[in-house]
């Protein structure tokens, strides 16, 4: 065993003391008698013991204290700060231990860092995958929903939501549909039996190894749309299925148009058959009886003429009707004319390096087009113009004439040969590798349009013109709401909502599903007739604010708005005219909030508004309610200001888009999520914890 | 001076009645059965008016119309398009390419002859 630093000193002292004592004993021995000798030895031994004790104490101090310190510091490394290092001091062995632990801590820190980097990387990868999937899904013209085996929606795209949610027309119907949202049940939207049957059908196909593993059915949405739903299973790793994917397509128009075509076809065949029969029998009669008298011949001729007229009329009618039905079959989307021009311009400039000017088209000029094939067609023309004739500068223009829109690709006419241009119409578009087998003319015809090229020699230009049918202009609405803060409102008891079940009360706040909502009103006194003019809400599922899962509706209050209130929220009477009434909106909002905890800022005010409408609408909001104002007061009892802005600033939540009621709902949701994690630090974990803490604060504030 | 009319249609059955109607109305006429022949006839026969069917194989009525209007010598030739589909886009295209008028098939013979007279300025 090696001694610690200075460890030899007490031993040296001991040995030195012993030697001095021994030497002294040697000198004084002659004067001592026998008994004194014993006393002297005892004294010397005592002196030796003191020396040894001092040495032992020094050693124990150095080791045990050092080890205790190392233990504490190691705990710091493990629990709090992996970058912390144990201080190297004390006896050599303790120092060795400290050094070893420090080496270990270094490795530990590296491992942690490494792990963190890996997690970050994996997260980034996952996020990218997610974004890619989201982008992919959002581009699809079909609605896509992914559900688990219980029918809970795990993933959906906008098209699915659009197809299944209440459309604006739904407000006026008496049936109320469900809402699409994460964690919501698909069975609220699509008949459970239909899906079950499809899944059984799939299980059967799987067993018989039939392909494709897709089953389909057509359902009617609450607004009368026909939706074709395809069901595909998500196989589990072992056996059976984990869930299913639904793809939805609106076939209302398709089926209507094919039904109408059936009727037309029938009308055509039957009508033509009888007219032709009449004509044929008349002509054959004339042929067979050459001596027929003139009056009879005249009669039969009239038959032929009349029947021919009937056939003409019928054909004209069918041409007119069939034309629109034929077009409905192709996947056309409504597109703003200027957007189409912009897409083509970008393509010309990026891909073909052609300088492209765009003449501003008329506002609100909507087209029904397959933008891809139109852009492809334009690109084809442009590429050939550039390659064959060296055209590097063009102008795009779009003009409306009646029901038609003329899209022109114009260039200065140099030595361009019209016969060549004309021949392009019948060649297939094989631009940029993945070309289509369609010709320019076919693209035009599929849009119910025509294409041709023309030269205007007077001003020396030439142009390709694509004539397309237009569609009704779409109204564009944007709502800007500016809101001032409300006074705190206590006129409603948040703490005794009927829908609070003991089971729900025991669940952790982080696991519950919330509807965070906000309203705009005509004024601040619901009891004196102030009405809701806008309700907005956003859902929080699994601790995530779902910005896509929103409710946002203006409401006609059926009473005039004061100018003062318009100044506050920016909603004018004109914006509310024609909006549904609160009696129409509340049932929908009720469906939206079903099974969730309501969260609002100063929620008592909003709840009071809903409560007042109870008798009129028969709709009772019994959901548990949490108030971000009260929860903020729980966390910061000494602060007086708990307005939305102040809390947001205190908690470091970005205040963006705070000028709409939807913006406020989203802000409240973000604040709520921060509050939940802060409440957890104070051991406020369940719904019940939060409610009772809020209630105490509420009473405290009342007293205050 | 007798006005000259060129009938351009690939369907023999309709040409039979058109020939008869135009002869009865006292016009001089020629018949072309396709686009290519039509362009040759325009050069040799120098008609005052062309009854031009749209739907023809190879060179269709639109192209015949365009080529006629591209020739500075033929600017004054009147053209009546005979279109079978009767879609608005088709009519617009025909007029844009230089046709003076159009008649949609099936047509009434009286209306057709009235239109011929109107376009020739004989009313």
Residue A488's nearest CA partner among A692, A629, A663, A693 is A629
Query: To the nearest whole angstrom, how far is the Cα of B42 from the nearest Cα of chain A?
Result: 18
pTM > 0.80: yes or no = no
Any idea what DSSP says for residue A171? Answer: G
SS (H, E, C) B45-103: HCCCEEEEECCCCCCCHHHHHHHHHHCHHHCCCEEEEEECCCCHHHHHHHHHCCCCEEE
Backbone angles phi, psi at A84, to 5 degrees: -70, 150
- The residues, any chain, with a CB within 8 Å of residue A702's CB and separated by 6 or more, are A490
Q: What is the pLDDT of residues A517-564, one digit of tens each?
A: 999 888 877 777 788 999 999 999 888 888 878 888 889 888 887 777
Chain B residues within an 8 Å CB radius of A404:
88-89, 92
Averaged pLDDT score across all residues of chain A: 79
Q: In terms of DSSP bridges, do strands A450-456 and A461-471 run parallel, antiparallel, or are they unpaired? A: antiparallel
- Catalytic machinery residues of A: 659
A80: tokens are 């709090």
Own/partner contacts of B63-69, CB < 8 Å, gap of 24 or more, are: B63/A422, B63/B35, B64/B8, B64/B35, B64/B38, B64/B39, B65/B94, B65/B97, B65/B98, B65/B99, B66/A418, B66/A422, B66/A452, B66/A454, B66/B97, B66/B98, B67/A419, B67/B39, B68/B39, B68/B42, B68/B98, B69/B97, B69/B98
**What is the dihedral angle through the alpha carbons of B103, B106, B108, B112, rounded to the nearest 10 degrees?**
30
Query: To the nearest whole angstrom, how far is the Cα of A198 from the nearest Cα of chain B?
Result: 44
Chain A residues within an 8 Å CB radius of B70:
418, 455
**Residue among A311, A419, A454 whose CB faces B97 most closely:** A454
Any idea what DSSP says for residue A619? Answer: -
CB contact under 8 A, B89 and A323: no
* Residue B76 near chain A (CB below 8 Å): no
**Distance between CA atoms of A126 and B92, rounded to whole angstroms?**
55
Q: What's the pLDDT score for residue A255?
A: 65
Q: What is the pLDDT of residues A295-308, one digit of tens each?
A: 889 988 998 999 88
CB contact under 8 A, B96 and A312: no
Angle at A441 between CA A437 and CA A444, to 5 degrees: 105
* Residue B70 near chain A (CB below 8 Å): yes
Q: What is the pLDDT of residues A86-123, one digit of tens each?
A: 888 888 888 888 999 999 999 988 998 998 899 888 88
Q: What's the pLDDT score for residue A529?
A: 79
Angle at A697 between CA A695 and CA A698, to 5 degrees: 60
Mean pLDDT, residues A176-188 taken together:
73
Mean pLDDT, residues A373-401 taken together:
89
Query: To the nearest whole angstrom, how far is the Cα of A425 from the nearest Cα of chain B?
Result: 11
Q: Is the per-residue pLDDT at A176 higher than 70?
A: no
CB contact under 8 A, B88 and A404: yes
Which residue is closest to B104 within chain A, CA to CA?
A316
Q: What's the pLDDT score for residue A489?
A: 46
CB contact under 8 A, A448 and B89: yes
Q: What's the pLDDT score for residue B39?
A: 95
Q: How many CB atoms lie within 10 A of CB A66?
A: 22
CB contact under 8 A, B89 and A404: yes
Q: Which residue has the tokens 């003019």?
A: A533
């Amino acid at each position: 065993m090696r001694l610690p630093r200075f460890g030899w000193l007490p031993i040296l002292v001991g040995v030195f003391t012993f030697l001095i004592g021994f030497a002294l004993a040697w000198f004084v021995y002659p004067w001592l008698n026998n008994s004194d000798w014993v006393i002297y030895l005892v004294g010397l031994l005592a002196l030796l013991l003191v020396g040894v004790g001092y040495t032992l104490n020094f050693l124990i101090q150095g080791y045990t204290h050092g080890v205790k310190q190392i233990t504490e510091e190691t705990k710091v490394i493990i629990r709090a700060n992996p970058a912390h290092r144990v201080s190297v001091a004390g006896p050599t062995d303790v120092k060795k231990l400290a050094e070893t632990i420090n080496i270990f801590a270094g490795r530990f820190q590296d491992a942690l860092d490494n792990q963190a980097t890996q997690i970050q990387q994996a997260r980034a990868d996952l996020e990218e995958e997610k974004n890619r999937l989201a982008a992919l899904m959002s581009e699809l013209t079909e609605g896509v929903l992914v559900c688990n085996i219980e029918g809970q929606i795990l993933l959906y795209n906008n098209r699915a939501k659009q197809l299944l949610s209440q459309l604006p027309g739904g407000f006026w119907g008496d049936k109320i549909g469900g809402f699409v949202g994460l964690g919501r049940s698909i069975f609220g939207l699509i008949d459970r039996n239909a899906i079950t049957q499809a899944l059984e059908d799939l299980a059967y196909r799987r067993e018989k190894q039939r392909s494709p593993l897709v089953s389909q059915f057509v359902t009617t949405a609450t607004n009368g749309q026909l939706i074709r739903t395809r069901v595909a299973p998500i196989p589990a790793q072992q056996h059976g299925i984990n869930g299913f994917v639904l793809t939805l397509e609106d076939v209302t128009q398709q089926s209507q148009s094919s039904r109408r075509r059936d009727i037309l076809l029938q009308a055509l065949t039957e009508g033509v058959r009888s007219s032709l029969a009449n004509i044929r029998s008349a002509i054959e009669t004339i042929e067979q009886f050459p001596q027929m008298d003139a009056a009879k011949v005249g009669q039969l001729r009239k038959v032929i003429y009349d029947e021919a007229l009937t056939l003409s009329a019928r054909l004209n009618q069918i041409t007119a009707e069939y034309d629109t039905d034929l077009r409905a079959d192709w996947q056309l989307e409504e597109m703003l004319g200027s957007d189409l021009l912009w897409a083509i311009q970008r393509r010309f400039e990026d891909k073909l390096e052609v300088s492209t000017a765009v003449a501003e088209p008329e506002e609100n000029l909507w087209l029904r087009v397959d933008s891809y094939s139109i852009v492809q067609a334009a690109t084809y023309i442009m590429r050939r113009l550039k390659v064959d004739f060296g055209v590097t500068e063009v102008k795009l223009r779009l003009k409306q004439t009646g029901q038609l829109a003329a899209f022109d690709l114009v260039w200065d006419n140099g030595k361009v040969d019209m016969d060549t241009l004309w021949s392009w119409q019948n060649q297939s578009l094989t631009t940029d590798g993945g070309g289509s087998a369609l010709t320019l003319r076919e693209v035009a015809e599929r849009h119910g349009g025509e294409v041709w090229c023309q030269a205007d020699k007077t001003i020396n230009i030439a142009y390709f013109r694509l004539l397309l049918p237009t569609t009704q202009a779409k109204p564009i609405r944007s709502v800007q709401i500016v809101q001032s803060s409300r006074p705190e409102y206590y006129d409603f008891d948040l703490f005794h909502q009927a829908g609070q079940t003991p089971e729900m009360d025991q669940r952790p706040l982080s696991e519950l599903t919330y509807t965070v909502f906000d309203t705009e009103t005509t004024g601040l006194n619901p009891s004196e007739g102030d009405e809701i003019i806008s309700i907005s809400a956003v859902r929080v599922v699994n601790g995530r604010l779902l910005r896509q899962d929103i409710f946002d509706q203006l409401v006609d209050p059926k009473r005039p708005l004061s100018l003062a209130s318009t100044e506050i929220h920016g909603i004018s009477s004109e914006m509310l005219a024609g909006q549904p009434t609160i009696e129409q909106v509340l049932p929908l909002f009720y469906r939206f909030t079903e099974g969730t905890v309501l969260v609002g800022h100063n929620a008592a005010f909003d709840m009071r508004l809903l409560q007042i409408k109870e008798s009129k609408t028969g709709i009772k909001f019994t959901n548990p309610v949490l108030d971000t104002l009260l929860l903020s007061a729980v966390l910061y009892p000494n602060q007086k200001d708990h307005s939305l802005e102040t809390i947001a600033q205190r908690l470091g939540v970005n205040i963006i888009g705070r000028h709409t009621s939807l913006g406020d709902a989203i802000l409240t949701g973000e604040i709520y999520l921060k509050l939940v994690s802060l409440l957890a630090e104070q051991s406020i974990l369940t719904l019940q914890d939060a409610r009772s803490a809020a209630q105490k604060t509420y009473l405290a504030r009342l007293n205050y | 001076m007798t006005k000259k009319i060129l009938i351009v249609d690939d369907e023999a059955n309709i040409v039979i009645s058109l020939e008869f109607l135009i002869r009865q109305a006292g016009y001089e006429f020629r018949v072309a059965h396709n686009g290519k022949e039509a362009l040759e006839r325009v050069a040799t026969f120098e008609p005052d008016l062309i009854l031009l069917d749209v739907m023809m194989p190879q060179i269709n009525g639109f192209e015949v119309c365009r080529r006629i209007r591209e020739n500075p010598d033929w600017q004054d030739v009147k053209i009546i398009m005979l279109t079978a589909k009767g879609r608005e886009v088709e009519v617009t295209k025909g007029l844009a390419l230089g046709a003076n008028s159009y008649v949609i098939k099936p047509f009434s013979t009286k209306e057709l002859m009235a239109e011929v007279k109107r376009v020739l300025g004989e009313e």
